[in-house]
Chains A and B, each alone.
Chain A
Amino acid sequence: MLRRDVLKSAAALAASGALAAPAIGRAAEARVLRFVPQSNLPNLDPIWGTQYVVRNAALLVWDTLYGVDSHLQPQPQMCEGHEVSADGLLWRFTLRPGLKFHDDTQVLPRDVIASLQRWMQRDTMGQLIHARLDGMDAPDDRSFRIRLSRPFSKMLFALGKSNAALACIMPERIAKTDGFTQINEYIGSGPMRFRKDEWVPGSKAVFERFEGYLPRPEPASWMAGGKRMYFDRIEWQIIPDGGTASAALQNGEIDWWETPLPDLVPLLRRQRGVQVDVADPLGNIGVFRMNHLWPPFNDERARRAVLMAADQADFMHAVVGDDAQMWKPLPSFFTPGTPLSTTEGGAALQGKRDYAAAKKLLADSGYNGEKVVMLVGTDLSITKGQGDVAADMLGRIGMNVDYVAIDWGSVGARRARKEAPDKGGWNIFLTWLAGADCANPAPYTALRTNGAKAWFGWPDSAPIEQLIADWYDAPDLAAEQQRIAALNRASMEFATFLPTGFFLAYQAWRSNVSGIVKAPFPVFWDVRKS
């Protein structure tokens, strides 16, 4: 071989290597998804930590027996199917064959029973099942039974709902941990393993594809169907600053940003290589929460005066800006566009605002200019915006507002205090709820009126509680809709709280990422990257 042949060969080899290397790099790159979640992942116990970000990560690691689809209907997931006795007291479930945990052990009914017991300690619907539970047992290695003392028609929804706490199935030895104590091992049977060794809380969380996962044959739909993963790794990068996350997305350093700031959306829309769309079709509901224990809001008339004066457009402009597609008025407590949505009794929140009438109603309630303590979390744009509008609205009807500007962590602590407002308590705080949590009364803690056991503000109304109980016993969808309409009307008259409107949020991703769907949580299955 001549020297020049050697040189030619070497050059050809070098050239082929130079060309091949980026191709290999691109292929490997396409198997890694870099995702910026809504906030830091502070822990990964789906029962102990009920924040949305924990729920979203848990959906990768753990699987559930049933899962709601995009129509909010529970579909079998880990379960092959179920049978229920004619009296509704005995439920028999069969697990799909071949289910494995990330430690390569088989999923057994005893794991399911222990997991459900832990879940029942913390979840509202789980507690309802627990209150009527006669027992659970496992007749064989693939099935388990739940015996009830009273029927519970929402069983499948409870097992497959997307609201925290999820009924996640974990190995028995882990599931035996008390529901109020955090677990240390994150072993599920979901499509991705959690790499605890790579976890840097506040910065990075890594999930690796679980080869032993068996997706269902059906197409994926939210928590239901086949959860097919097209990534070997999903890296959650925590970027606390919105401006930085936006720049990182534009620069291709990240692939998907769960919650872009509304202010930055117009900029992102103009960028080539970036796509923006609504994240969750079920959106969010703004909440103006009143304390029913103390004057003036211990009087129904004062609460109704607030509903009369509230202009939801003002609140929503403060939350999402001028983007009219991102909000809508909500004369209801229930999420619009869902099977149970209703506007029955919502007239108080519709039409022109009548400040004079609201002022008179407020005076009738006995209010005479006393200080009203309003807690505003000024570190969150949604609560801050709502707080500013609320202060203006209350001023217009003659309320003497003490605007307490604090961080959200402090609001969280102070709102739990039942003392009088001038002794460290409160009259009003502002927050928001995910629309998925307001689609029916089961996960909707803010709607409950069970007095001392109710959510902050402690509303007390036996008739409303009865209406909620009636909904649980509704035999079909028509009956459910009828009972929800009655519940909405009663809650509006009682003015349990003020819904300040319905608003949506965006998500943004690189154009080379496909398969991203609109859902109440980021759906990673069926997402691909080219």
Chain B
Amino acid sequence: MLVYALRRVLATIPVMAVVALFVFSLLYFAPGDPAAIIAGDQATPEQIAHIRASLGLDRPFLVRFGEWSWHILHGDLGTSIFTNLPVSHMIAQRLEPTFSLMLLTLILSLVVAIPMGVVAAWRQGSWIDRLIMVVAVFGFSTPVFVIGYLLAYVFALQLDWLPVQGYTPIAEGFWPFLQSLILPAVTLGGIYIALIARITRASMLEVLSQDYVRTARAKGLGERAVLFVHALKNAAVPIVTVAGLGVALLIGGAVVTESVFAIPGLGRLTVDAILRRDYPVIQGVVLLFSFVYVLVNLLVDLLYSLFDPRIRY
């Protein structure tokens, strides 16, 4: 398995190279001009051209791509056109909020969604099953920003239990940190909970009809043991797959959630960079997200063998 894992890690290099080329080309050919934004609305075309030249944006595609790739190979993501700060520094500033939000969302979602799916399957066709599926459909179809506003209105403005916006780093205390992330995590978790609950239900329904589940019941095992020890473990592979694929949903959702709750994370950094055409930042963040996604998929593959010993690499 170690060899497999190593091979997969090495395989990320060409993937990242393709991503890099794609992102660079996309930004090169996309409309927009950071020089025009820097110069301000009253700037003359002459001034804009001067800024463009000073930033090196007037050079040919291959020269710019070659230079950027060379720096990337040396671990240098470049410097932001607007802030003049290293892109790696800007990303580092944003890592903690985004990964904290994603981790909390992931934990919250799994803790809530898996029991929901199991119970729905166990009580298939009952009012509990229907209720859970209604909640899942609601979570899947309600836009993140709507849930965010509603939660902020109730829990921050009306009840005054939690802050409307902002992020408190964990270094400033665990409870303030948690307080700042509860609403964003619930907001972002809505769609993820719905997704995992539905796939857990479907997967559990298939497993619960298997002979070995009937055998487990016949030998007198309690219903909890049947559901969570025998059935759930066997239903885990599709759940893990969907949970892994859902990380892309989390990344996309984080962009909106971070904007709604003013969390200084990577999602907002990406949006700001796109709106300003801050090419080095966009390229850096997209490369990072791609890398994380590739790693998550690798982790999912490795987890398969944990849940199903028949799978060997």
Residue ranges of A at the interface with B (Cβ–Cβ < 8 Å): 40, 42-43, 48-52, 122, 124, 163-164, 178, 180-182, 184, 200-204, 237-241, 243-245, 247-248, 250-251, 253, 379, 406-410, 412-416, 418, 431, 433, 437, 443, 445-446, 453-456
Partner of B277, one of A163, A181, A409: A409
Contact across chains for B264 and A203 when beta carbons are under 8 A apart: yes
Inter-subunit contact B164/A248 (CB<8 Å): yes
Nearest neighbor of A201 in chain B, beta-carbon distance: B83
* Stretch of B67-75, B123-131, B213-221, B268-276 at the chain-chain interface: B268-276
* Nearest CB in chain B to that of A48: its residue: B38
Interface members, chain B 35-55 (any A CB < 8 Å): 36-48, 50-51, 54
Taking a contact as CB atoms under 8 Å apart, the answer to whether B163 and A251 are in contact is: yes
Given A202-B268, A416-B48, check contact A238 B41 (CB 8 Å).
no
CA distance A259 to B23 in the complex (A): 34
Contact status A412-B264, CB under 8 Å: no
Q: Which chain B residues in 240-290 approach chain A with CB under 8 Å?
A: 259-262, 264, 268-269, 271-272, 275-277
Interface hit among B112-120, B134-142, B153-161, B192-200: B153-161
| Chain B residues closer than 8 Å to A406, beta-carbon distance | 31
Give Cα distance in the complex from A174 to B199, angstroms: 60
Contact among B36, B84, B164, B277 for A182, CB-based, below 8 A = B84
Q: Max chain B CB contacts within 10 Å: which of A410, A413, A433?
A: A413
Choose among B36, B37, B47, B269 the residue that contacts A202 (Cβ–Cβ < 8 A): B269
Instruction: Give bound CA distance, A449 to B272, whole Å.
Output: 34
Task: Number of B interface residues at 8 Å Cβ cutoff, please give it.
Answer: 49
Which of A122, A201, A244, A410 gathers the greatest number of chain B CB atoms within 10 Å?
A201
Q: Are B45 and A248 touching (Cβ within 8 A)?
A: no
A-B interface pairs (CB < 8 A), number: 141
Contacts of B156 in A (CB 8 A): 247, 251
Q: Is the pair A50, B262 in contact by a Cβ cutoff of 8 Å?
A: no
CB pair B37 A409 closer than 8 Å = yes
Q: Which 3 A-B pairs have the closest CB atoms?
A: A203-B264, A413-B33, A50-B40
Q: A52 to chain B: which residues have CB within 8 Å? A: 40
Measured between beta carbons, the chain B residues less than 8 angstroms from A414 are 31
Q: Are A250 and B39 in contact (CB under 8 A)?
A: no
- Checking B44, B149, B166 against A253 with a beta-carbon cut-off of 8 angstroms, the contacting residue is B166
A18 CB to closest chain B CB (Å) equals 19
**Cβ–Cβ contact B32 & A244, under 8 A:** no
Name the contact of A241 in the complex, choosing from B40, B46, B262, B276 (C-beta under 8 A): B262
Tell me if B9 counts as interface (CB < 8 A to partner A).
no
Q: Are A437 and B42 in contact (CB under 8 A)?
A: yes
- A contact residues around B51 at 8 Å (CB): 180
Residues of chain B with a CB closer than 8 A to A241's CB: 259-260, 262
Residue picked from B36, B85, B268, most chain A C-beta under 10 Å:
B36
Known pairs A247-B164, A253-B166, A416-B45. 10 more at Cβ < 8 A?
A: A42-B276, A201-B82, A202-B269, A240-B271, A243-B149, A251-B156, A409-B31, A412-B36, A413-B36, A445-B42
Whether A413 and B164, one on each chain, are in contact in the complex, defined by CB atoms closer than 8 angstroms, is no
Q: Within the assembled complex, what's the spacing in Å between the Cα atoms of A182 and B54?
A: 10
Residue in B closest to A51 when the chains form the complex, CB atoms: B40
Query: Does B80 reach chain A (CB closer than 8 Å)?
Result: yes
Q: Which residues of B contact A184 (CB under 8 A)?
A: 84
Q: Give per-residue flags for B53-89: 1 if the beta carbon is below 8 A from chain A beta carbons, else 0.
A: 0100000000000000000000000001011110000
User: Which residue on A lies nearest to B265, using beta carbons?
Assistant: A203
Asked whether, in the complex, the Cβ of A251 is within 8 Å of the Cβ of B164, the reply is yes
Question: Once the chains bind, are A248 and B84 in contact (CB under 8 Å)?
Answer: no
Does residue B93 face the partner (Cβ distance < 8 Å to A)? Answer: yes
Cβ of B230 to closest chain A Cβ, rounded Å: 46
* Set of chain B residues within 8 Å of A409, measured between Cβ atoms: 31-33, 36-37, 275-277
> B93: nearest residue on chain A (CB-CB)?
A200
